[in-house]
Structure 1
Amino acid sequence: MIVIEIEKPGGPEVLKVVDRQRRRPGPGEVLIRVIASGVNRPDVQQRRGLYPPPPGASDIPGLDVAGIVEEVGEGVETLQVGTPICALVNGGGYAELCLAPAVQCMPIPRGLSFIEGASLPEVFFTAWNNLIWLARLAEGETLLIQGGASGVGMAGIQIARHLRRATVFATAGTPQKREICLSVGATAAFDYRGAWDDEIRDQTHGLGVDVVLDGQAGPRTQRQLDLLKPDGRLVFIASHDGETAEVNIRSLVRRRLTITGSTLRPRPAEYKGRLARELVAQVWPLIEDGRIKTYIHQAVDFHQVRDAHAILDDNRQIGKVVLVVDPTMAATVPEPLPALQLT
Structure 2
Amino acid sequence: MLLVPKLSSSTSSMPSDDQHRLFRRKGGGGGAAGGHGGGKGGGKGGSSSSKGSSRASDVAKKHGASGAFLNSRSSRPFHIPGIKSQFMAYADGGGKPTVLKSDSAFIGRQAGGGSRSSIYGTSHFGSGYPYGGYGLFVSSRPFPFGFVPVPVSHGYYGGDEYLNMNDTLRPGGHLVTAIIHPSYNSSSATFRLTGDNSSVTTVFDALVANCSVANSSSAITPFSPSVTTWPLPEQVVQYYRASSFALSLDNYNNMATLLANAPVSNDSSLPQIPDTPLPLGLNTTPLQCINTTIGASVPLADVNPGSKFSSAEIAGIVFGSVAGAVLLCCLVSCCCSKMKGEKPSKHEKTKYNRFEIVNTR
For the pair shown, which has the larger CA radius of gyration, 1 or 2? 2
Task: Name the structure with the higher strand share.
Answer: 1
Per the TM superposition, whether the score is higher than 0.5 is no
User: TM-score, normalised to structure 2's length?
Assistant: 0.23
